[in-house]
Amino acid sequence: MLFRNEGIVLRSIEYSDADKIVTIYTKNYGKIQAIAKGVRKTKSKFGSSLEILTDAIFLFYRGKNIDIISQTEILESFFSTCKEVRRFAFASNCAEIVNKLTEEGDTNVALFTLLKNTLHYLKEAKDPQLINLAFKWKAITNLGYRPLFSFYNYSKENNLIGNQKISKYFSIKDGGIVTNESSEIDSAEYLPVSDYFINLVKKIIITPLSKITHYTIPVKRRKELDKITETYLLYHFNKIFKTQSFLESL
């Protein structure tokens, strides 16, 4: 049986003498592992269509043990158009997250669209790290772990409890905010946060990437956002992302 769908290449590994096994996140069939026969030959018909981060139309043949890629048509190639290592690293990180946080065959059109738009805007964004972090919070939300930001209770007029200034903490476990009125804030599951962080993540979740691509934020705030984002991802998904280590080395 033949079937056709748009997909984004998440991973590509060499197999036997001339083949590749490719992991593709498709729009309507979710994640698929398929084999491309003869792709490593000089005159391969696939060209660069099976490079990581390529958005293409794929024609698959349903195989007994693994699907076979029959034809490809490139729609957009991040790999061939973006020569900046840092942007490529952010894009690869997004692809690795989708690969590790999804199961084969589970369809998620919204997540596919998010990844596609992220790769598109990463190429020209004023602040590529902000796009990468925005992708993560939007993916977290899509996968059912949207933070609540509704736990704190304080006087907005003076932000004080008596003469004590209120401090706010992000609950890694519950995805909400507590204050120093709580007796549990000594736990490692609570990270101190600024009002800037709270308002930023709220906006990131609901703002289209097409608008975020024009924004930039101060380095101090980006570091706060990055630290809490990675801690939240690790706690809830228990996955280590190899590309994150590379990003931290840049």
Of 8, 2, 10, 80, which Cα lies nearest the Cα of 241?
10
Pair (71, 89) in one structural domain = no
Residues of the chain with pLDDT under 70: 42-44, 79-80, 150-165, 181-186
Beta bridge partners of 178: 169
Supply the CATH number for residue 56's domain.
2.40.50.140
pLDDT of residue 37: 87
In which domain, by residue range, is 119 found?
83-250
Q: At residue 198, what are phi and psi to the nearest 5 degrees?
A: -60, -50
Pair (205, 233) in one structural domain = yes
pLDDT of residue 26: 98
Q: What is the pTM of this model?
A: 0.90
Of 42, 43, 49, which Cα lies nearest the Cα of 34?
49
Supply the CATH number for residue 204's domain.
1.20.1440.120
Q: Which helix (H) or strand (E) holds 175?
A: none
Pair (92, 181) in one structural domain = yes
Pair (203, 87) in one structural domain = yes
Q: For the chain, how are helix, strand and coil distributed in percent, rounded to 5?
A: 35, 25, 35
Number of domains in the chain: 2
Q: Can you tell me which residue has the tokens 């990131």? A: 204
pLDDT of residue 154: 44
The two structure tokens encoding residue 92: 């690869």
pLDDT of residue 189: 83
Secondary structure of residue 13 in the 3-state scheme: strand
Q: What is the pLDDT of residues 202-213, one digit of tens each?
A: 999 999 999 999
Pair (185, 61) in one structural domain = no
Domain boundary among 81, 103, 128: 81
Pair (103, 204) in one structural domain = yes
Pair (136, 225) in one structural domain = yes
* 28 vs 7: CA distance, rounded Å: 9
pLDDT of residue 181: 65
What is the average pLDDT score of the chain? 88
Instruction: Evaluate whether 35 touches 61 at the Cβ level (below 8 Å).
Output: no
